[in-house]
């Protein structure tokens, strides 16, 4: 079989099982519109795969790709709900857009950033890295511990010590 006939096999399987694929994706995501998008993405991925390789069980392959994409979507949505505040009051957004920093506010912010950078530069490498990972990259203590090759307790202590140093540095400046 050549690449064209592999793609045709996938196309026939897709057309014959599209409604079942849509139900399957909708059941996983809970969102029919998103399920439609997942089917489109699955179609593109499956036809691309069929060009370079023979797919022995096209329907099973389609369902597996749809399942993986739908689960990825569900995981991403769960993560966003947990860590990203998507339920923001529109009045807060409008107020933030309307507020422009005065030159004084901008100067104070710039000065505070410089002081914070100075405080960070005073830390030893490991503590600075722990603070930066925790505060700027939102890394969990477990990830910091693994990256630095220390215990979870030590990672906690490094972050706490670094934050305390930065806070004290900023207080002294006031």
Radius of gyration of the chain (CA): 26
User: How much is the pLDDT for 86?
Assistant: 47
Query: Does 14 have pLDDT greater than 70?
Result: yes
The more confidently predicted of residues 70 and 52 is 70
**Mean pLDDT confidence for 62-67:** 93
- Given a contact cutoff of 8 angstroms between Cβ atoms, the answer to whether 55 and 7 are in contact is no
CA atoms of 133 and 127, how far apart (whole Å): 10
CA distance 2 to 111: 66
pLDDT of residue 20: 94
pLDDT in tens, 77-94: 887 777 664 455 555 556
pLDDT at position 96 is 57
Q: Of 26-30, 78-82, 99-103, 156-160, which range is least confident?
A: 99-103
Percent pLDDT > 90 in the chain is 32
CB atoms within 10 A of CB 58: 20
At 17 the pLDDT is: 92
Among 51-65, 71-85, 93-107, name the one with the lowest average pLDDT: 93-107
In the chain, the domains with their CATH numbers are: 3-83 (no CATH), 102-173 (1.10.10.10)
Q: State how far the Cα of 155 lies from the Cα of 145, in Å rounded to an integer.
A: 5
Give the model's pLDDT for residue 49.
80
Q: pTM (2 decimals)?
A: 0.47
DSSP letter for each residue of 110-140 = HHHHHHHHHHHHTS-HHHHHHHHHHHHS---
Tens digits of per-residue pLDDT, 98-144?
566 666 666 666 777 788 888 888 999 999 999 988 888 888 888 89
Residue 119 has a pLDDT of 87
């Amino acid at each position: 079989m050549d690449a064209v006939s592999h793609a045709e096999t996938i196309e026939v399987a897709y057309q014959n099982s599209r409604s079942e694929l849509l139900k399957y994706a909708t059941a996983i995501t809970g969102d029919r519109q998103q399920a439609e998008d997942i089917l489109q993405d699955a179609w593109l991925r499956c036809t691309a795969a069929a060009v370079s390789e023979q797919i022995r069980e096209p329907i099973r392959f389609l369902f597996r790709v749809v399942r993986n994409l739908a689960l990825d979507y569900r995981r991403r949505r769960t993560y966003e709900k947990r860590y990203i505040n998507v339920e923001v009051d529109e009045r807060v957004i409008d107020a933030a857009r309307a507020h422009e920093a005065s030159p004084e506010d901008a100067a104070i912010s710039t000065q505070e950033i410089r002081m914070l950078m100075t405080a960070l530069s005073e830390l030893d490498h490991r503590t600075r890295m722990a603070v930066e990972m925790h505060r700027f990259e939102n890394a969990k203590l477990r990830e910091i511990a693994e990256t630095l090759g220390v215990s979870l307790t030590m990672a906690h202590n490094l972050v706490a010590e670094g934050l305390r140093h930065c806070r004290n540095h900023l207080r002294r400046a006031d």
